[in-house]
Amino acid sequence: MIFLRPLGVLNSALSHSVLIIGWAYMDEKSSDGAFRAKAFANRILEEEMVGESLAKSTVNLYLRKLEQIAKRPSIGGYWKLTPEIIVRDFTKRVESKAITQATARLEKAVALFWIAAEGRSAYDSNSSELWRFECAYNDIISTPIGELSVNSKNTSSKKAKAFPDEAFDMLMNEAFTSGSESLLDSLIFIRVNLFLGLRPVEWLNARIINYQHRNALGEHIFQPDGSAKISPALEVLNAKHSTVRGNGHMRIILLDSIDDEGIRYIQQWIGLISKLKTDRLMSLSEEEIYKKIYGSMQRTIRRVLIKAGWQGQKPTLYSTRHQAVANARADGLTEKEIAALFGHSSTNTARRHYGKKIAGYSGRTMRPAPESIWAVRSTVAVRPKPPRGEPSPALG
C-alpha cells in the first residue's frame, strides 16, 4: 500500500522528481478555450522533474491543505490516506453542498496533487497498485462543482468595496490624540494604497524604479535635450501570476503624476513592510501573510471606526484596493488600463468584483506602463457547463 508521507517528510523531499506533481489545472486548452486537466499518464510522466513549473508557494499551500484534510475525524491522519479515501472525502463535501465553488476548486487541485504525487511514486516503484491512482484521478476530475454556491452562506455581510474619505478622516482625527503606532502604520498604508491599489501582500515585493519610457515599437523615448525620458515607477510582482489570474509576472505603475510627498510615503511603507519579510513568511499563503502583517492594523481601524460612530459596513484595508479601482473608473481609464493597473489578466475581473465608478474620486489615479497594458487579455473564455452526466472540465 502506498501512502503520502507526513508533511515534514514530504517537504524535505520536494526536490526529488518522484514526489512533486500536483498541478491539476491550466495545462492544456480545449477547442473552446477552457483549461482541462491532462490525462493521468501525461501528468506523471511528461517532465524530467515532475511539477517543476509549479510555484513553491502553491506547493506549500497544497501541503498545508493536505494536512488539514488528513486531520479530519473521518480520516484520522496522513498514514490512513488512500486514493479511495481522497475521492470519498472530496465527493462527500461536494455532494453535501457545504462548500463554495472556490473551496471546491482548491480541494480538487489538492486531491489531484496527492493522487499524482503518489501515483508517480507507485509508477517508479513498479507497483501493481498504479491503477488505483489512475481511477481516483479520473473520479476527481469528473466530479462537477458548478452547482455549488459561489458565495459562502456563513458570511455575515459582504465586505465594503469602498474606503470613503470620511473613514480616513475619522482615523486621522483619532491618530492626533491616541498616538497609536498601529494606527499610524495603517494610515500610511491607506494613504499609499488608495493611490496604487495593490493587493496588500504585493507590497512585500514592490520597489520604486527609474522607468525608461518606450514607444509602441519598443524604442526608447528621448527628451528635446537628448536625454532619455525617465520617471519614477513602482514595480510590482503580481500575487496571482502563478494561477494565470495576473497580467504576467509583474506590472509597472507609473508615478509621474504623484508629488514628492507621495513618493516619500510609498518609500516609507516599503521600508516598514520590508522589515517583516522572511523566508518563512513568504512560504505562507496570501491569507496567512495578510493576517500576520495586517491583522493588528485591521483590528485597530475597526475599533477606531466603531468608537467614532461609523454606521454600516466597516471599510477594511483591502477596501483601499476596491476604492482605487473605483477611482480609476471615475478618472475614465479604459478597462484594459484598469486591468493592467491592478494586476488582472482579464478586463472581466474588475468589472465583476471591484468597486463601482459611483464610489470613485477623480484626480487620484496612477497610470500603468504600456507593457503592462499589452499583457492584458480583453476577455477570458467562459467555460461551458457540460451536459448532465458528462465529466466537468477542471477549472483553474
Note the pLDDT of residue 31: 35
- Comparing CA positions, the residue from 189, 184, 191, 186 lying closest to residue 203 is 189
Compute how many other C-beta atoms are within 10 angstroms of the C-beta atom of residue 239.
20
Q: Please say whether the beta carbons of 287 and 239 come within 8 A.
A: no
- Comparing CA positions, the residue from 4, 14, 24 lying closest to residue 52 is 14
The residues pairing with 237 across neighbouring beta strands, listed in sequence order, are 250
How does pLDDT run across 271-313, given as a tens digit for each residue?
999 998 888 888 887 788 888 999 999 999 999 999 999 988 8
3-state secondary structure of 67: helix
Q: Can you say whether residue 33 is alpha, beta or left, with left for phi > 0 and alpha for psi between -120 and 50 degrees? A: left
Indicate the pLDDT class of residue 67, thresholds 50, 70 and 90: confident
Note the pLDDT of residue 198: 95
Note the pLDDT of residue 167: 93
Indicate the pLDDT class of residue 322, thresholds 50, 70 and 90: very high
Kindly state the average pLDDT of the residues 48-52: 57
**Residue 164 or residue 352, greater confidence:** 164
How does pLDDT run across 244-267, given as a tens digit for each residue?
444 578 899 999 888 999 999 999
Report d(CA 180, CA 187) in Å as an integer: 11
Report d(CA 79, CA 12) in Å as an integer: 17
How does pLDDT run across 137-172, given as a tens digit for each residue?
999 999 998 888 876 554 434 568 889 999 999 999
Report d(CA 385, CA 391) in Å as an integer: 10
How does pLDDT run across 109-140, given as a tens digit for each residue?
889 888 888 888 888 899 999 999 999 999 99
Sheet strands (E) in the chain = 28-29, 35-36, 207-212, 230-237, 250-254, 367-368
Mean residue pLDDT across the chain = 79
Kindly state the average pLDDT of the residues 381-391: 46
How does pLDDT run across 208-222, given as a tens digit for each residue?
999 999 887 888 899
**Residue 56 or residue 167, greater confidence:** 167
Report d(CA 75, CA 82) in Å as an integer: 10
Task: Check pLDDT > 80 for residue 3.
Answer: no
**Residue 5 or residue 167, greater confidence:** 167
Spatial CB neighbours of 172, under 8 Å, sequence gap ≥ 6? 187
C-alpha cell at 294: 495586517
Note the pLDDT of residue 74: 80
Report all structural domains of the chain as residue ranges with CATH numbers, in order of start: 7-141 (no CATH), 165-374 (1.10.443)
How does pLDDT run across 172-194, given as a tens digit for each residue?
999 988 888 999 999 999 999 99
CA distances from 114 to 7, 108, 272 (A): 12, 10, 38
The residues pairing with 346 across neighbouring beta strands, listed in sequence order, are 377
Report d(CA 301, CA 216) in Å as an integer: 44
